[in-house]
Amino acid sequence: MIIDANFEPEAMIEVARRRGARVRAILLTHTDGDHVAGLPALLEAFGPLPVAVHPAEREMITEGKPLRANLPFPSPSAPEVVDLVEGLPFSAGTLTFSVLHTPGHSPGGVTLAIGQLLFTGDALFAGSIGRSDFANSDGAALLEGIRSQLLPLPEDSVVLAGHGPASTIGREKQYNPFL
């Protein structure tokens, strides 16, 4: 599976081909332009694949609507869109992810967990949290999602954010000034 479709899909395509991986799905932590811009190239490279997104942001992919009214970057559409639902595992091929709804940066923001790895999108970063100053963002929901969904996880859980270096839950509990 590929998590998010950034502005440089060629790098993801190259890694998957070099490793002989058979990509079975593309999972989106949310639908901001910098997380979906590479979707057309990925779908072209790997064929028709399901694109998984939280229902709160489904229409951004099914209808190509921009997530942010003040940033009119239209989302690329996909022929097969499936839901990432909190509490329901998402499986494709040999991988299964837990879906944790971590809204606030965006209405349908999710963290995808597999083993000790947490793909947090733009919810939790090393030393920071996602922006919540957009019209459809909610700072209180962002903090609540992080506190209720992420901070209770084991301290050695690895935080792999949409931007920046990796961290751990323990490190964020101790040093993140926003928490």
152: tokens are 């209770």
**pLDDT value at 30 more than 80:** yes
Domains in the chain, start-ordered, CATH in brackets?
A: 2-175 (3.60.15.10)
pLDDT digits (tens, 9 = 90+) for 84-103: 999 999 999 899 999 999 99
**Could you tell me if 80 and 50 are in contact, meaning their C-beta atoms sit under 8 angstroms apart?**
yes
Per-residue model confidence (pLDDT) at position 76: 83
**Could you tell me if 102 and 146 are in contact, meaning their C-beta atoms sit under 8 angstroms apart?**
yes
**pLDDT value at 75 more than 80:** no
Per-residue model confidence (pLDDT) at position 53: 98
Among 49-53, 61-65, 121-125, the range scoring the smallest mean pLDDT is: 61-65
Among 43-47, 77-81, 128-132, the range scoring the smallest mean pLDDT is: 77-81
**Could you tell me if 31 and 61 are in contact, meaning their C-beta atoms sit under 8 angstroms apart?**
yes
**pLDDT value at 73 more than 80:** no
Per-residue model confidence (pLDDT) at position 71: 77
| Residue 105 Cα to chain centre, angstroms | 11
pTM comes to 0.96
pLDDT digits (tens, 9 = 90+) for 33-48: 999 999 999 999 998 9
Residues 6+ apart with CB under 8 A from 27: 1, 2, 3, 4, 52, 53, 84, 90, 97, 112, 119
Calpha distance 164→148 (Å, rounded)? 23
**Angle at CA of residue 29, ends 89 and 66, nearest 5°:** 130
**Alpha-carbon dihedral sign for residues 170, 88, 37, 16:** positive
Nearest to 51 by CA among 6, 82, 19: 82
